[in-house]
Amino acid sequence: MDRRNFLKQASSYALLAAGTMAGVSGAFAGTPSSSNGQPDRMSDESKQGGNMEQRSLGGLNVSAIGLGCLPMVGYYGGKYGKKDMIALIRRAYDKGVTFFDTAEVYGPHTSEEWVGEAVAPFRDKIKIGTKFGFGVEEGEPTALNSRPDHIRRAVEGSLKRLRTDHIDLLYQHRVDPNVPIEEVAEVVKELMQEGKVLHWGMSEASARSIRCAHAVCPLSAVQSEYAIWWREPETKIFPTLEELGIGFVPYCPLGRAFLTGAIHEDSTFSRNDRRWNLPQFQPEALKHNMPLVYLVQRWAERKGITPAQFALVWMLSRKSWIAPIPGTTNPDHLDDFLGAGKVRLSAWEIEEFDRDYAKIDLMGHRADPFTESQIDK
């Protein structure tokens, strides 16, 4: 499918979804409107931290915006203190976030340990998503491993590090081509029957794998990279998710900070920054893709919000079953993107944005060759 037809199809999906969402609740409004179409003032209550729209991911209720806890372990360079990151997680909770995303491979183990300690005082009020699927327990953290014995070891380790007796949402981090997905689903079903896992999902899975897994043990959510500049899931898996009633959890929804305007065409990245070898972040691609940043900035100004907020508002407005998990190590950045919880685009604004977007030619793939080789096709 070429880019123009892709956008035509994606826009039709978005218009239908946004039109449906428009009448759900005042919380969905772009600029909240009264019945006569005139802007309403947000109530004092809606402006306060700790009050965020809730969304359902296949029956799992979470805050519309979650917190991704991978950057805290230095994924984009830098070293961050445990005390500061625990404070950041608790700050997110105070502002209404009830959905925290981690994985055994993040650190490895460090992210789960910090999340577990941070949420302990309010564990019963939040949802934790974590993942298995890499050979962390076997000392091979870059190798895929979804063998049944590994899954059980991984889950026991995660429960301990997270200081909990159950995992709210357990993902298979990547599809393992050496283990039938039906076999993986059977193991997870057993873990759910034992009460150790409440819901399960997959990450970077194809529509075929999603269907096969769901037939054995119904999925609540699928996690994949998704952002204004990477929209492949809209045509690859959205129809399947919508048909089966599965929620979608986008990671890197801010385009690894590109969409926020913090990155410029002359930006460079150290080798310990995940972006240094990604095609989208090479000098030529950065320069080529800057028109998208300018488009996001124009729309953000039009809506009276920041570019980071617009990047989230854009996806939250498209489907009611999307709950992005932006990550950060900075309290100010956290406060910024959580501001997206109060604004939505109308169906017609989505269509208008897509027309502008279609005029922009983008360069660069989202993943390096090794990472791409582990993504289910």
Active site residues: 106
Task: Give the position of tokens 């283990």.
Answer: 179
DSSP string of 159-179, one letter each residue: HHHTTSS-EEEEEESS--TTS
Helix (H, G, I), strand (E, B) or coil at 306: coil
How many degrees, rounded to 5, is the angle at CA 212 between CA 206 and CA 218? 105
Q: For residues 65 and 60, what is the distance between their CA atoms, to the nearest angstrom? A: 14
Please give the C-alpha separations between residue 165 and each of 56, 118, 197, 227, 240, in angstroms, as whole numbers.
Answer: 22, 16, 9, 34, 32
Task: Give the position of tokens 């919880």.
Answer: 341
Widest CA span of the chain, in angstroms? 62
β-pair partners for 99? 127
- Return phi, psi of residue 64, to 5°: -60, -30
- Return phi, psi of residue 10, to 5°: -65, -40
